[in-house]
Amino acid sequence: MKYDITKTITKGAQRTLYALSGAMFLLLEKNDFEGITVNEICTFTNYPRATFSNYFDDKYDLLNYCWYRLEQRIELDDYTGIAPEERIYVFFDRIYDLLDSEITAVQKILEKNTESGYMFNSFRIYLGRRMVEIFRGCISSNNYSIPKEIVADHYCNTLLLILKWAFRKDLSYSKTQAHKYLYYLLRS
């Protein structure tokens, strides 16, 4: 990303970043990620391509920013006060609640974007990277006889599996059911 989000963001930059990432999410409801172009994003937001280029290298860069925005909404960084063995369940609850609050959009995005497509793989990689970072700082992760990265990958894939099935239009499990399935798969 060209724009440094670690610095204080101006109101104008905040508005632009919000508009571009919001447009990406809205366009994902209508098309698969592969079919979306930078020109389409710019037309949708009424921003010139030069403005887009001031913030992002390409649509892939924008998609990574979209994952960052979701991470901020679910407060993924706020885990220090949570018992290590409960973190995965707290994260699951936060992600579930966010997706549930946007259920119509989520189901449209799931209809348009396949699990083997770039969007899902990008999300899986982003979430996996964050989980590895969290596991590195987790004292109880030293209890595993296998590398933390493998445990984090397992947890990430299990979490995504349950979320995928919980939000399918034809199945949609309740949060309680999804929580039980997650617990069963991680504790068995």
Q: For position 143, what pLDDT does the model report?
A: 67
**Would you say how long the chain is, in residues?**
188
Task: Check whether 129 has a pLDDT greater than 90.
Answer: no
Average of per-residue pLDDT across 143-162: 82
Flag whether pLDDT at 52 surpasses 80. yes
User: pLDDT higher for 99 or 65?
Assistant: 65
Q: pTM (2 decimals)? A: 0.86
Q: b/e per residue, 136-159, with b = 16+ CB within 10 A?
A: eebeebeeeeeebeebbbebbebb
- What's residue 137's pLDDT? 63
Q: Is 70 exceeded by the pLDDT of residue 68?
A: yes
Give the distance, in angstroms, between the CA of residue 80 and the centroid of all CA atoms in the same chain: 20
Better pLDDT: 139 or 12? 12
pLDDT by residue (tens digit) across 80-101?
Answer: 778 777 878 888 898 899 988 9
- Domain-by-domain residue ranges, the chain? 11-68, 77-187
Taking residues 48-52, report their average pLDDT.
97
Query: Fold for domain 11-68?
Result: Arc Repressor Mutant, subunit A (1.10.10)
DSSP code, position 125: H
